[in-house]
Structure 1
Amino acid sequence: MKQLIIICVLLFVSSIFGQEAKYLGKSFILTQNFAAQECDAVGANAKTASYPLERTFVIIVDAISTNGYVVSVPNFKSREELNDIFVTSKEVPAVKDANNNIVTAAIPAKDIYFLIPITEFDKITQLNLDNWSFTVGIPTIPVKLRFGNKGEGDNPRYFRFEGNVSLGLSVGGKYSFGEEKKKAVNFLTGFTVASVQVDSLTTKGKINSNTSAASFSPHLGVVFEIERFQFGLFSGIDFLYGEPNKYWVYRDKAWLGIGFGYSLFKTEGVNKEND
């Protein structure tokens, strides 16, 4: 029974620490003034700070101690006089007597850290994310719609529904919105490679049997994202490899794709500077 209790306690503690650890390296905005304690880089030697952290300050979580979050304040661009108070302390030169002997040793400049209790952190901060960021991902396009011309003219085509899976690479801009920026729209460009089925109908009788040809397809796309779920619309043009491309009736014709995206990595557009 004791072992079960110990295991439960350890699991509870680890889950709490995991929740706290997700803030490491993240940027936050203070939503109100807060009289934080000044401390060292690991949260020790805490003392009352000379000035309170002000509402709208950007702060970054650098470490977690048993007493709270250890945060730093990035450089101020327009209020440079605050850098000596909240960012990096000024060097204090040594004091010497008349004989040039050092009476008080110099105090070197050092980065300034502040301690915010874990119980207070969420009450006075909000996650700091820019709306726009850069994104790179792998689009998966399992459905392509090719449009026809009702079989008319010298190059007759018919509406075609294809279920081939296309894989590739996309890059673009991501616009995040909503609570904690959990919703987003991605505007993408990139390419995919796939296998396309060709036959007599799609090659004007030049290829008599059903066969497949490799294709390279540049595309544009819009992907809608809600937390981890992504749904996208893509459009591109397939270029077939080899002779089939010469006779293919859908050559240079755009397709519409419905796809799902898995992001390789996402930048959160974190603003790590104060105004």
Structure 2
Amino acid sequence: MGIKFGVAGHRTASYSLITGYSISNVILEKYSVRRNDVDLTEINNYTAFSLSIGPMIEHNRVQAGIFLGFDILSRLNQSHFGWFHQGKPWLSVGFGYSIFSNQEENKVTNPTNKL
């Protein structure tokens, strides 16, 4: 989700404040937990909830942004393993291209065509 703002004097440029909410997969390894690391020999992929926020710039459908976020392991898994990275911030850089756009093309009509 986000809020998009136009740039004065530039029809093809805008900036946005973007928030992200996602379910992600976290790989727990023996060196990244405080306790019960022997339980990681069978399964070490766990579900986490990720939150992020940051600015994004778009110019002629090309996008670039920088985002700050953090991951949260479920309460049950966190209490069992004591994951070191629980809630610690991370930084991400993203680039993209908008294939869907709400920018309308300029339509030229020919006044001599009359039906």
TM range (shorter): 0.5 to 0.7
Give the greater-gyration-radius structure (CA).
1
1:223 maps to which of 43, 52, 56: 56
Q: Percent identity?
A: 27
Give structure 1 stretches of 5+ with no counterpart.
Answer: 1-170, 269-275
Q: Which string of whole-angstrom CA distances, capped at 9 and with x for unpartnered residues, describes residues 191-221 of structure 1? A: 1222111111111242243722111112212
Q: Could you tell me whether the CA contact under 8 Å between 2:70 and 2:90 is conserved in 1?
A: yes
1 CA distance for matches of 2:78 and 2:101?
36
Higher strand share: 2
Which position in structure 1 is the counterpart of 2:111? none
Return structure 1 stretches of 4+ with deviation > 6 angstroms.
Answer: none
Whether the 8 Å contact between 2:54 and 2:65 is mirrored in structure 1 is yes
1:195 aligns with 2:30: no
* Length-normalised TM-score, structure 1: 0.31
The answer on 1:174 being equivalent to 2:18 is: no
RMSD: 2.7
The CA distance in 2 between the partners of 1:262 and 1:244, in whole Å, is 37
**Are residue 251 (structure 1) and residue 86 (structure 2) matched?**
yes
State the alpha-carbon separation in 2 of the partners of residues 264 and 217 from structure 1: 25
The answer on 1:233 being equivalent to 2:66 is: yes
TM-score, L = length of structure 2: 0.66
Are the structure 2 counterparts of residues 262 and 215 from structure 1 closer, same or farther at C-alpha, using a change threshold of 3 Å?
farther
SS at match of 1:238: strand
Q: Which deviations, in whole Å up to 9, do the C-alpha atoms of 1:167-196 show, x marking residues without a partner?
A: xxxx22212226652122211223122211
Q: Which has the higher contact order (CA 8 A, sep 6+)?
A: 2
What whole-Å deviation, never above 9, does each CA across 1:25-64 have from its counterpart, x for those lacking one? xxxxxxxxxxxxxxxxxxxxxxxxxxxxxxxxxxxxxxxx
